[in-house]
């Protein structure tokens, strides 16, 4: 049925930015509980989300050819060049097996120089052994970053909300480190895009089960981006070394980071209370745009996480976020209960079109 051009759509569809290039990032393994296992972060995740969005009537569109120079607004040039070339270098140095780091510059080791060789470089830039670099990782990561920045552009140009189906995810990637299945920080790139286009205060709210350590680090000393995160308590949950409540930002950014860790096992009641606190902080900041790092690994049967949210809670989260009434970019992060990932993501997004 065609609608007349003058009549507003009763249920306007959301623009969802998707690239098939995500599928090039496949076949990697991660170190999990002492074993190398296929990554939990799989191409199937994105295809199930895509199918659910199509079924819900959202409009899929490809990312724009955003210049790679935009990456450097958030990431260090040497880091970007490393990611681009790491797989080829590993191969040209005659190595077999998976491209994973096996040693890191921990306390007591030198932090002031990057070794020339590939193994030392991997340990320098990576912070875990669960984030493999395969031949197609760079193509997929760049496409995901472009999906996020395209969604930001759509919102800047007047869309009330837009969704970026990013894969690989991004919120663990910092200015010059990668890990947690993340290489380029898609949400930070979206937020920076909005700042660069003139939005004066942007908020990133991160509702993935895991703390968005990369996003926090990127905006740590800034007051033009508020970072708020709800996540499993890092005392027991990945990424373990960031995400505590006493981290509040520094310098100009003092007070512009808010962490709301919750114990593993938390359910909707505790989650809802933390989300209310997050929303109050966002309203007080009065941002001109919102970026949502949307992980649905808060779901009760997620295989690597321990919150107890159910399918019916995702539309409630969406309604609370949409209730802020802000131009909103939703960026896909985690979620590993593959059978339910599409319904849970679509549940959040539906609130922005109702
Ligand atoms: C984007 C994203 O969601 N990345 C998550 C990366 C998590 N990788 C390490 C997971 C370690 C989980 N430990 C097992 C706890 C089982 N309850
Ligand atoms: Zn996560």
Helical residues (DSSP H) of the chain, grouped into ranges? 43-55, 77-92, 118-125, 137-156, 186-196, 213-219, 268-285, 313-322, 338-350
pLDDT of 8 higher than 70:
no
Ligand 1 neighbour 295 (Cβ under 6 A): yes
42-91 pLDDT tens trace: 999 999 999 999 999 999 999 999 999 999 999 999 999 999 999 999 99
Quote the ligand 2 centre to 308 CA distance (angstroms): 14
Ligand 1 neighbour 210 (Cβ under 6 A): yes
Q: Does a cis peptide bond (omega within 30 degrees of 0) precede residue 323?
A: no
Instruction: Specify the pLDDT at position 94.
Output: 87
Q: Which residues are catalytic?
A: 172
pLDDT of 3 higher than 80:
no
Quote the ligand 2 centre to 93 CA distance (angstroms): 33
CA 141 to chain centre: 11
Ligand 1 neighbour 180 (Cβ under 6 A): yes
CB 331 within 8 A of CB 150: no
Return the DSSP state at 14. P
pLDDT of 27 higher than 50:
yes
34-43 pLDDT tens trace: 999 999 999 9
Q: Which of 170, 173, 181, 337 to mutate to test the pocket of ligand 1 (most atoms within 8 A of CB)?
A: 181
Nearest CA to ligand 1 atom 6: 180
CB 327 within 8 A of CB 161: yes
191-206 pLDDT tens trace: 999 999 999 999 999 9
Spatial neighbors of 150 by CB under 8 A, at least 6 apart, are 17, 61, 63, 64, 66, 164
168-198 pLDDT tens trace: 999 999 999 999 999 999 999 999 999 999 9
Which tokens sit at 15?
């623009």
Ligand nearest to the CA of 166: 1
- At 53, is the secondary structure helix, strand, or coil? helix
Quote the ligand 2 centre to 273 CA distance (angstroms): 20
Instruction: Specify the pLDDT at position 113.
Output: 96
Instruction: Specify the pLDDT at position 239.
Output: 98
Nearest CA to ligand 1 atom 13: 304
Overall average pLDDT of the 209-227 stretch: 99
Sign of CA dihedral 109, 112, 116, 119: positive
Nearest CA to ligand 1 atom 1: 334
pLDDT-based confidence at residue 157 (cuts at 50, 70, 90)? very high
Nearest CA to ligand 1 atom 7: 180
Tokens 């985690």 -> residue = 334
Quote the ligand 1 centre to 170 CA distance (angstroms): 14
Written as one string, the DSSP assignment of 229-246 is: EEEE-TTTSTT-SS--TT
Which range among 5-19, 98-112, 264-278 shows the weakest confidence by mean pLDDT?
A: 5-19
Overall average pLDDT of the 221-248 stretch: 98
Quote the ligand 2 centre to 95 CA distance (angstroms): 30
Ligand 1 neighbour 127 (Cβ under 6 A): no
- Across 175-203, b (16+ Cβ under 10 Å) vs e yields ebbbbbbbbbbbbbbbbbbbbeeebebbb
CB 147 within 8 A of CB 166: yes
Structure-model confidence comparison of residues 12 and 338, the more confident one: 338
Instruction: Specify the pLDDT at position 11.
Output: 55
Ligand 1 neighbour 130 (Cβ under 6 A): yes
- Partnered with residue 292 across adjacent β-strands are 205, 330
pLDDT of 237 higher than 70:
yes
Distance CA 21, CA 307 (A): 31
pLDDT-based confidence at residue 354 (cuts at 50, 70, 90)? confident
- At 329, is the secondary structure helix, strand, or coil? strand
Ligand 1 neighbour 298 (Cβ under 6 A): no
Q: Which of 180, 299, 306 to mutate to test the pocket of ligand 1 (most atoms within 8 A of CB)?
A: 180
Quote the ligand 1 centre to 210 CA distance (angstroms): 7
Q: Which atom of ligand 1 is nearest to the CA of 208?
A: 3
Structure-model confidence comparison of residues 299 and 12, the more confident one: 299
pLDDT of 164 higher than 70:
yes
269-287 pLDDT tens trace: 999 999 999 999 999 999 9
pLDDT of 120 higher than 60:
yes
Element (H, E) at 338: helix 338-350
**Among 267, 269, 278, 277, which Cα is nearest to 227's?**
278
Q: Which atom of ligand 1 is nearest to the CA of 210?
A: 3
Ligand 1 neighbour 307 (Cβ under 6 A): no
Instruction: Specify the pLDDT at position 96.
Output: 87
Structure-model confidence comparison of residues 5 and 88, the more confident one: 88
């Amino acid at each position: 049925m065609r609608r007349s051009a003058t009549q507003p759509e009763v249920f306007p569809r959301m623009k969802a930015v998707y690239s098939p290039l995500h599928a090039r990032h496949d076949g990697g393994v991660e170190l999990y509980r002492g074993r190398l296992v296929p990554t939990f972060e799989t191409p199937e995740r994105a295809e199930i989300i895509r199918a659910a969005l199509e079924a819900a009537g959202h409009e899929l569109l490809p990312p724009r050819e955003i210049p790679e120079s935009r990456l450097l607004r958030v990431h260090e040039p040497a880091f970007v060049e490393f990611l681009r070339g790491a797989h080829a270098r590993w191969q040209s140095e005659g190595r077999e097996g998976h491209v994973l780091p096996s040693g890191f510059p921990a306390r007591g080791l030198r932090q002031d120089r990057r070794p020339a060789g590939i193994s030392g470089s991997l340990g320098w830039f990576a912070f875990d052994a669960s984030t493999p670099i395969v031949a197609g990782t760079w193509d997929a990561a760049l496409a995901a970053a472009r999906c996020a920045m395209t969604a930001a552009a759509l919102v800047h140009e007047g869309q009330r909300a837009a969704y970026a189906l990013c894969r690989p995810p991004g919120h663990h990637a910092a200015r010059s480190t990668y890990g947690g299945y993340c290489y380029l920080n898609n949400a930070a790139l979206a937020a920076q895009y909005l700042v660069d286009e003139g939005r004066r205060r942007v908020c990133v709210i991160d509702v993935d089960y895991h703390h968005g350590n990369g996003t926090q680090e990127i905006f740590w000393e800034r007051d033009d981006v508020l970072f708020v995160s709800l996540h499993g308590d890092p005392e027991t949950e990945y990424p373990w070394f960031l995400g505590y409540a006493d981290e509040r930002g520094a310098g100009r950014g003092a007070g512009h980071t808010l962490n709301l860790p919750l114990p593993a096992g938390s359910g909707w009641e505790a989650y809802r209370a933390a989300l209310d606190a997050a929303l109050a902080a966002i309203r007080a900041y009065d941002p001109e745009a919102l970026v949502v790092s949307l992980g649905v690994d808060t779901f009760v049967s997620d295989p690597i996480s321990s919150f107890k949210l159910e399918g019916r809670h995702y539309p409630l989260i969406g309604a609370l976020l949409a209730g802020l009434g802000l131009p909103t970019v939703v960026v896909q992060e985690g979620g590993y209960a593959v059978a339910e990932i599409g319904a849970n993501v679509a549940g959040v997004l539906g609130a922005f079109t109702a």
